[in-house]
Structure 1
Amino acid sequence: MSVIGSGAALSAVVAGLPLSGPAAEALDTLGSPGLPIREYLLVGLTAAVVTFLLTGLVRVLAVRFGAVAWPRGRDVHVSPTPRWGGLAMFGGVLGGVLVAGQLPALRLAFAYSSEVTGTIVAAGLLVLVGALDDRFELDAITKLAGQATAAGVLVLYGVQWAVFWVPWGGGAYVSLSQEQSVLLTVLLSVALVNGMNFVDGLDGLAAGIGWVAASATWLFSLGLLYEAGNDPNAYTPALIAALLAGACFGFLPHNFNPARIFMGDSGSMLIGLMLAAATTTASGRIPFASTDGKDVVGLLAPLIVLAAVVCVPLLDLLMAVIRRTRAGTSPFSPDKMHLHHRLLEIGHSQRRAVLLIYLWSAVLAFGAVALAVTGANTVVLWGIGFAVLLAVLATAVPRLRSRRSADRVGMHH
């Protein structure tokens, strides 16, 4: 059995249409005709608008207080650019939270769980660390300590992994001990924070990937909410994802090439932490008791979506660590060999390189969501295959053109 049950069901969820059967009875009990789609959209829109409006003010403050990125040898930008965009994004998140707290349905997320509150507290702490780093260039150990502390705050507020399903040995549920749960949550959060930090190298790149990842997580979380019969206890993952998606979307107009402001570490670490919180809380809502072990895709859906939405930044992080370790340097030492740098080397412009990474992130993230929703049916697999082929061709176009030009020059000689 898949997590959602059918593609038609998800279509009804996304459209906000009335549902039928047991889910409708549960919704009637709550006095709601459907999932709170409009409330989520309002929260995301609020986060986007507030972020967009605050960014101009933050840009002025960054210049006044010296939080400016001066061009270095490994950088792509050529002129001094203000940082601290993460402060505006966090302001947008707070604006969305204030609105959510006044809405009839979403305010229940705060009554049933402390996870949203914990996410905001942890995010505020990490944004502060990032803002200091954007201004004073903190050392790697200090930043790592701040990241681990923020992850610890998540755990204290109940945001942690507790159960896994493993397919080998006939399939089994693995309940993590408190120590294992804490360790896994902290490691995952720190990895995501650093993954987003590493990938933030081109105008609009981290904000766009964050928006894609948060949107995919939001759709998946809506499916879990539908499966739970609109139980307010399951509102949290979609709410965190909607807040993050809105903040990223509102920041993009200021940050897309040519960028007028960078999000800095305050923004990239905010994205990583909130993605970790959204996916971790979503993992706790999967209905293990209602699955029979036959559909591995459905059972592993949270992990599949998690792996897909962060594949690009984590792959870049892993490649960077291996590359730098083999070269005998620190894994945190900067270089100019990230994925986005390689795209520039083969002939893509900055804008095209960013759009390509958006495309790959969307193919992976929304492909995983489609598999989790409908199962591995033929139509979905063909659709994902076609999307992957399109992404490969779009990535290879400059290299193919250069080879064709070289062949023509050789023929003339």
Structure 2
Amino acid sequence: MRDYLLTLCVTAAVTYLLTGPVRKFAIAVGAMTAIRARDVHREVTPRLGGIAMFFGLCAGLLVADNLQNLNGVFDLSNEPRALLSGAALIWLVGVLDDKFELDALLKLGAQMIAAGVMVMQGLTILWIPVPGVGTVSLTSWQGTLLTVALVVITINAVNFVDGLDGLAAGMVCIAAAAFFLYAYRIWYGYGIEAAAPATLFAAILMGMCLGFLPHNMAPARIFMGDSGSMMLGLVLASGAISVTGQVDPDTLNLFEGGTREGTHAALPVFIPLVLPLTIIAIPFADLVLAIGRRTWNGQSPFAADRGHLHHRMLEIGHSKTRAVLIMYFWSALIAFGVLLYSVHSASMWILVLVVGLSAVGLVLLLLPRFNPHVPRWAESVVPPRYRRRRRR
């Protein structure tokens, strides 16, 4: 665990320290986010934050390669090199887009190429668990098609949700934290070495987000741009592909004799195998709704609008900060709820806890003007908006 924490801290430190100089560079080259009708920010803000995040990724992989307990990942697997190749390609396209505003179809093609580059180097889905059937091995073209689809969907899901200060980085960080705990349990709990790359990817992804968030929280001093959001989506998808498509579920003793009855009886343990998909549930839902909405209105699926989930929350009265925190809450509830259920699937209290927290989340979501107040003895340590108004 210490080596993973060291890798995370180095990644976060490099990202944090480079973001300031990158901001000055973005201003110098004119990579600025203009104020558009669909935007919620009201000041011209530099982007290209993905540059600092990419070098944080490189630093994390370099440190891990030189740690005794982690360098085996590089010796026994080609997945870290595949990740770096795909990330470098999508990052370069993102940098060009942040500066020159590339066509949406060109970016989509680049995303597919980046996914194909990773597939060629071995980062691909080999099999998938199917409830009621068992482990289904995929042919080469099936694995390639599914891998490319997952990478493209995740990249665009993260890119679509990047609309408020700190929103995308925070949600991806939460997802990476839940994913790290799951992959770490598979690696050290079950002794399955195939989960080691996914564990490393999650730790580095957390570092990239944590290093960038102090610069990106409201009011943001810099945006990550497509160079950052697309890269975050690719790294998140890479971890999902690694652990879901490379770790054979049979090695986890999920199936009782390999029969259909045994698989059906063990259905709850399939949940952690789809955890990589559930951790992007909120961004994915936003992506699906956006595509459906734009297609229904006769627009291109890639046409920007103000119909995303965070835009709707602002319209019903939430502040930017509250909208971000509520999205954090729902992301954490889904990701960690599934994670807890995968560990204690027979415990009823987990279901009760998730239902109770969901009710709290709905109250916070539907009552945007509800402002909780703290006791008077604690008013000196909280922001003024949480203090009771004194009568004069």
TM-score of the superposed pair, with normalisation by structure 2: 0.90
1:66 and 2:30 aligned: yes
Q: In the alignment, which residue of structure 2 is the partner of 1:298? A: 269
**Is 2:19–2:49's contact at 8 Å kept on the other side of the alignment?**
yes
Q: In the alignment, which residue of structure 1 is the partner of 2:178? A: 216
Deviation at 1:232, TM superposition (A): 4.1
Q: Could you tell me how far apart the structure 2 residues matched to 1:280 and 1:372 are?
A: 18
Paired residue type of 1:366: F
Paired residue type of 1:72: R
**Is 1:279–1:302's contact at 8 Å kept on the other side of the alignment?**
no
**Is 2:23–2:222's contact at 8 Å kept on the other side of the alignment?**
yes
Deviations 1:40-92 (A, max 9, x none): 11111111111000000100110111111010010011111000001101111
Q: Could you tell me how far apart the structure 1 residues matched to 2:294 and 2:169 are?
A: 26
1:319 and 2:289 aligned: yes
Q: Could you tell me how far apart the structure 1 residues matched to 2:122 and 2:364 are?
A: 43
Specify which of 73, 79, 95 is matched with residue 59 of structure 2: 95
Q: In the alignment, which residue of structure 2 is the partner of 1:46? A: 10
Higher alpha-carbon deviation: 92-101 or 53-62: 92-101
Q: Could you tell me how far apart the structure 1 residues matched to 2:163 and 2:345 are?
A: 35
Q: Superposition pairs for residues 276-295 of structure 1, below 5 Å?
A: 276-283=237-244, 284-289=246-251, 290-292=253-255, 293=263, 294-295=265-266
Q: In the alignment, which residue of structure 2 is the partner of 1:228? A: 190
Deviation at 1:375, TM superposition (A): 1.5
4+ residue segments displaced more than 6 Å: none
Partner-residue secondary structure (3-state), 1:329 = coil
Q: Superposition pairs for residues 67-82 of structure 1, below 5 Å?
A: 67-82=31-46
Q: Could you tell me how far apart the structure 2 residues matched to 1:266 and 1:225 are?
A: 31
1:240 and 2:211 aligned: no
**Is 2:271–2:338's contact at 8 Å kept on the other side of the alignment?**
no
Q: Percent identity among equivalent residues?
A: 45
Q: Could you tell me how far apart the structure 2 residues matched to 1:268 and 1:381 are?
A: 33
Higher alpha-carbon deviation: 358-367 or 283-292: 283-292
Q: Could you tell me how far apart the structure 2 residues matched to 1:197 and 1:114 are?
A: 27
Partner-residue secondary structure (3-state), 1:173 = strand
Q: RMSD of aligned C-alpha atoms?
A: 1.3
**Is 1:165–1:300's contact at 8 Å kept on the other side of the alignment?**
no
Q: Could you tell me how far apart the structure 1 residues matched to 2:369 and 2:124 are?
A: 44
Deviation at 1:286, TM superposition (A): 4.6
Q: Could you tell me how far apart the structure 2 residues matched to 1:376 and 1:136 are?
A: 53
Deviation at 1:336, TM superposition (A): 0.5
Deviation at 1:400, TM superposition (A): 7.0
Partner-residue secondary structure (3-state), 2:128 = strand
Partner-residue secondary structure (3-state), 1:174 = strand
Q: In the alignment, which residue of structure 2 is the partner of 1:270? A: 231
Deviations 1:310-339 (A, max 9, x none): 011110010000000000010001101100
Q: Could you tell me how far apart the structure 2 residues matched to 1:176 and 1:286 are?
A: 12
Q: In the alignment, which residue of structure 2 is the partner of 1:32? A: none
Q: Could you tell me how far apart the structure 1 residues matched to 2:357 and 2:81 are?
A: 38
1:127 and 2:91 aligned: yes
Q: In the alignment, which residue of structure 2 is the partner of 1:359? A: 329
Deviation at 1:297, TM superposition (A): 2.1
Higher alpha-carbon deviation: 48-57 or 149-158: 149-158
Partner-residue secondary structure (3-state), 1:387 = helix
Deviation at 1:235, TM superposition (A): 1.1
Paired residue type of 2:267: V
**Is 2:171–2:331's contact at 8 Å kept on the other side of the alignment?**
yes
Q: In the alignment, which residue of structure 2 is the partner of 1:173? A: 135
Q: Could you tell me how far apart the structure 2 residues matched to 1:376 and 1:398 are?
A: 36
Q: Superposition pairs for residues 179-194 of structure 1, below 5 Å?
A: 179-194=141-156
**Is 1:224–1:285's contact at 8 Å kept on the other side of the alignment?**
no
Structure possessing the higher relative contact order (Cα contacts under 8 Å, 6 or more residues apart): 1
Q: Could you tell me how far apart the structure 2 residues matched to 1:376 and 1:246 are?
A: 33
Q: Could you tell me how far apart the structure 1 residues matched to 2:234 and 2:346 are?
A: 30
**Is 1:62–1:82's contact at 8 Å kept on the other side of the alignment?**
yes
Paired residue type of 1:279: A
Partner-residue secondary structure (3-state), 1:235 = helix
Paired residue type of 1:298: V
TM-score of the superposed pair, with normalisation by structure 1: 0.85
Deviations 1:75-111 (A, max 9, x none): 0111110000011011111111111111111111000
Paired residue type of 2:9: L
